Structure 1
């Protein structure tokens, strides 16, 4: 099925999942509509990405399908972007955001997070020949160093807060950002350690993750929802079951190198 068809189906299903009434929960609305709308960017390997045929894959794509099965509902993937993620959550475009979303105070102020499922953190990745040059933030934050970043997410927020002399190069197409880095279009990227490990395997001998075991700062990934105690509790129960049965570990082994 082509991407345009999939998006059309997602929008149609989303229209069915109307916001919960004042006397019921969002979880009630999800069950009544028999669909949970999952907001995901589709540009963030290994969590969520689209192949050339428009098929959606990744760790959190499989987790979303497992959540839908646990709730006994269909899953409608709703396309979003990192710059629009918070707006889309607040406007009710989807019921839950899944796709490598990090817990931040800004996000906690407008929504609730599930229990964390992964410990992660910001660390550099560069061409292997240059990895010794970019070990510390001081190494990176120098005039003439080009730091590439995708807009609107925690990567850009980290760079803007920590880098004052390096050139920040914003590339909207997150899906091709590592190809740009490998080709010399930038010198380094600072992103989640899990992503640097994967991209190192996808660009063997060209890109190298730099100390992913000791990131510059630690963060946790979780699932982000509009405030609704019933939905939050249901997601946490499902997540605990995924951990207890070993299903979460199996998906981590498959997707997170």
Structure 2
């Protein structure tokens, strides 16, 4: 009887080991087997990611997500998130990749991988055009009378807390934050140069202050699961080819005025 139990146990352990061996260990394999690419994106950060009223997404990184999925022969599954919940959602394995104007930071790097760099994009002030001269420097903005407005949970808030502690800091939804500036309910938003230039083009009355002279250097990249070298290698190679063939630049030109 003991011999029979031992044989059954050995058989079950062998089957369990075989099943585990067949489970995909890389997101590259998981995505292809599942037939879908799960993309975490905030949907509130033009020109990279924006969720329209009809529920559809658009933006530079939205088009790139579809391109990545097409290269794998799968469909995109959008996973809505916020800047405050991006890392918790990512670490909970809700998505295969994070896309949508994500800034490279050492804090994020501690918990995840980044793809190769998409673009350099530093922090600058976005203000009403009539007030440009008043908010040229950190010293001018870091004043008790200055009303600073940011979306919660991202690198904009981190910059404000680190460099502008004396200013009045308020938080607002990133979809309507720019109207707050136009309506004189806030004075300054610190954001990435690309977003500031996009909003300047979209909303007359708002101006990007010194868009090529960053108050803080920054880079944009895609967020990837930590430790998955095969998946990172694939995404990096796809991105390299997208840039080499001009496909990435073509997508950018639909949203930004490129040189």
Larger Rg: 2
- C-alpha offsets along residues 64-118 of structure 1, whole Å, 9 cap, x if unaligned? 0000011111111110000000000100011100000010000000000000111
Q: Which runs of 5+ in 1 are unaligned?
A: 1-19
CA distance in 2, matches of 1:21, 1:99: 33
Partner of 2:217: 218
Point out the more displaced range, 231-240 or 246-255: 246-255
How far the C-alpha of 1:21 sits from its partner, in A, is 7.7
| Structure 1 equivalent of residue 7 of structure 2 | none
Q: CA deviation at 1:52?
A: 2.2
Number of residue equivalences: 236
What's the TM-score once normalised by structure 1's chain length?
0.89
Return closer, same or farther for 1:76/1:183 CA change in 2, 3 Å cut-off.
same
Q: Following the alignment from structure 1 to structure 2, what is the Cα–Cα distance between the partners of residues 178 and 21? A: 50
TM-score, scaled relative to structure 2: 0.89
| 2:248 corresponds to | 248
CA distance in 2, matches of 1:167, 1:24: 48
1:22 CA drift (Å): 6.8
Q: Which residue number in structure 2 is paired with residue 190 of structure 1?
A: 190
Match of 2:33 in 1: 32
Deviation at 1:25, TM superposition (A): 1.3
Q: What does residue 157 of structure 1 align with?
A: 158
Query: Contact 2:24–2:30 (CA<8 Å) still a contact in 1?
Result: no
Contact kept in structure 1, 2:148 and 2:168, CA below 8 Å? yes
Cα offsets for 1:11-58 (capped at 9, x unmatched): xxxxxxxxx987621211111001110000000000000222222100
- After superposition, the CA RMSD in angstroms is 1.3
For 1:90-239, list aligned pairs within 5 A: 90-171=91-172, 173-204=173-204, 206-227=205-226, 228-239=228-239
